[in-house]
Every structure is written in structure tokens, then in C-alpha cells.
Amino acid sequence: MDLIVSENFSVLSRMADNGSQKSRVLIVGGTGYIGKRFVRASLALGHPTYVLYRPAATQNIDKVELLLSFKQSGAHLLQGSLDDHESLVTAVKQVDVVISSLAGTIVRNEIIQQLKLVDAIKEAGNIKRFFPSEFGVDPDRHADAMEPINQVFVDKSKVRRVIEEASIPYTYISANCFARIFLGGLGQFGQGYIPSREKIALYGDGNAKVIWVDEDDIATYTLKTIDDPRALNRTIYIRPPANILSQKEVVEIWERLIGYPLVKKRISSEEWLKSMEGEPLGLQIAIAHAHQIFYEGCTANFEIGPEEGEASELYPDVKYTTVESFLKRYV
């Protein structure tokens, strides 16, 4: 099945794109969980949008339907792969900005695989902004994290240093906790994505501050930065003020919405860390990361420096989703 929009665009079409004030954006990993949101945000903000998809995607009916929906919305579909350098260079040469939304795990080594994309960007030589796949906590602030989560941050920082050494213009996005993954279960790890109406496990005293961000807002803020000189070669943190809340405060909002209290159980730090024993690597990483977030408060326990930026301050026109409005969907 051939989904590719021809790379031989008409001269008039090419001139129209080049004459636009909006940068042409390539999304790598555009059929993924966060990537599809980048595609939609890019189209919504009027950017000529290109989606790189792997040949294997055509064997997955859900991905095919998603790609076709992108095409019908005006996106250009380009077939390529991290293992096909020529296809990457060809795709990169057609755009101004590259956003990588590859999965951020070390189990399948996707983070380091981005170095292949960096090589293509270096060869193409035309990219004015690159966004490596991060969109969580800032890896440079967490290089000393516990095993095995530290390897994730080591790998992400390694990609950063290669980008910087190659003098590739960049923006790093620190988006903190995805609302649908973390907030849907009131922060409870492994308990599903719908808030409980009966009981809740609190991490410690539940008072560590956490930053919860709607995934669609992450995409909107990211796309707002791509032509903004204030975000060039900087880390931009997404910290919506109303969403800097502890797990306990989130639970209190939910209790107010449903009209009664939940039965609460506290899990000590020692109990939580002990639960890693004997688990597969991927699960150990998730448990260690949850410890960082809910016991150590890693998303909110530092000040943003003057050489960095905060998205909701840079773009006050974005009406972000608050924790309360997000939770109201489940009532």
C-alpha cells in the first residue's frame, strides 16, 4: 500500500510553501502517542506539515487510518526509516523544523537511535530548529538519578550534547507529567487511567508538588516555540501555574467533584522502592521514575534559570487545560 504523497511537488506548490511565514515541520514518530498530537497542532497552527512513517506502519490498520486522516487534513506523508539514511535526508531537506517524538525508552534503544536522525540533519544542512524526543523531565537536571531510570537521562543528555556539538539549532521541551497517563489515575501507578471512586494510594504524605500537563497542550506549546527566537537553543519548561499540585491536592479536587472522600492508604518510600525487586527492566524504570516524581518532587523542586523559559509565560494566549477541568470529564 502506497501512502506517500509524491516528493515531486509542483513548482507552484513548493513556492507557496517557501513563501509562507510558517515554517515547514517534519514530525518523526507522528503516529505515536504524543506524535499524533504534534501533527494536529502543527496543522491547526497553519504550518505545512510533513509526517515521516515507517514502511511497517502500513501493516497496522489503526496507523493507516491515522495517516490517512492526516493526509485528508492537509499533511504530506513521507515514507522513511531511521535505518534508511537516504530517506531521512530526503525528508529533512523538504522542511525547516524537525520534531522527533520517538518513544523515550531504553528497552528498545529508541533514544540513542535519534543519533541517526541527527546525522541526517547534519548532512541536509538546512534545519533551523530541531526538537529531540524528550517531553518529560529535564535529563540534564537528573543525571544522578537512581538505577535504572538514570540511563534514560544519560542517553537523552548524550543526544543533546551531539546536537550542540554539531551546532544544530534546537529547542528542548520539558513537559513534565502527561495528564492522561498520570492524572487519569490520580497519580496511582498501574491502576488504570480512570479515577477511582473508592480508594487511593498516596505516595508518602502525598504532598510533593507535581506538574500535570494535558498532552494536547504540550503539543500546542511546542509548536508555538518553533519560530520564536526566545526559544532558540534553550530549554522551555511547561509549567501551567494552576497545574502545579501535589497528589493529595489532586485527590481533594476529585473528591470535591464526586462529593465524597476516598479511602486512603499511604505507601512509604521504602515500600515503593522494594516493589522494583524481580520486575522486568521496563517496569523497574517506571517505578523508579514514579519515585522521582511523587516522593522527590523532581518536576517542581527547582527554579527555572534566566537562560531558560516557561511556556505559559511565553504564550499566555494558550488556554491550557487545568487539572480540575481535566478531571471533570470523568465525573
Decide if 51 is inside a domain: yes
Decide if 19 is inside a domain: yes
Q: Which tens digit of pLDDT belongs to each residue from 83-139?
A: 999 999 999 999 999 999 987 665 557 889 999 999 999 999 999 999 999 899 999
Decide if 310 is inside a domain: yes
Decide if 266 is inside a domain: no
User: In the block, which residue shows the cell 524504570?
Assistant: 285
Annotated catalytic residue: which of 36, 63, 71, 156? Answer: 156
Decide if 5 is inside a domain: no
Decide if 18 is inside a domain: yes
Residue type, 88: L
Say what the pLDDT of residue 107 is.
54
Active-site residue, 22 included: no
E strands of 2-46, at which residues? Answer: 25-28
Decide if 196 is inside a domain: no
Q: Which stretches of the chain drop beneath a pLDDT of 70?
A: 1-20, 104-108
CA distance 283 to 265: 22
Q: Which residues, 6 or more positions from 114, have their beta carbon under 8 angstroms from its beta carbon? A: 82, 100, 102, 132, 133, 159
Distance, CA of 256 to chain centre: 30
Say what the pLDDT of residue 190 is.
81
CA distance 63 to 30: 10
Say what the pLDDT of residue 110 is.
81
Say what the pLDDT of residue 1 is.
44
Say what the pLDDT of residue 129 is.
98
CA distance 132 to 329: 32
Q: Which tens digit of pLDDT belongs to each residue from 257-284?
A: 999 999 999 999 999 999 999 999 889 9
Number of structural domains (the chain) is 1
Say what the pLDDT of residue 9 is.
30
Residue type, 291: H
Q: Which residues, 6 or more positions from 106, have their beta carbon under 8 angstroms from its beta carbon? A: 148, 151, 152, 155, 281, 285
Say what the pLDDT of residue 10 is.
32
Domain CATH for 141: 3.40.50.720
Decide if 50 is inside a domain: yes
Say what the pLDDT of residue 282 is.
87
Say what the pLDDT of residue 7 is.
37
Extract the C-alpha cell encoding 44. 491547526
Pick from 79, 49, 85, 41: which is nearest to 63 by CA? 79
Say what the pLDDT of residue 155 is.
92
DSSP 141-175: G-TTPPTTTHHHHHHHHHHHHHHHHTT--BEEEE-
Q: According to DSSP H, which parts of 126-261 are helical?
A: 150-165, 215-225, 247-258
Domain range for 21 is 11-174+215-237+303-315
| Percent of the chain residues past pLDDT 70, beyond the cut | 92
Say what the pLDDT of residue 104 is.
63
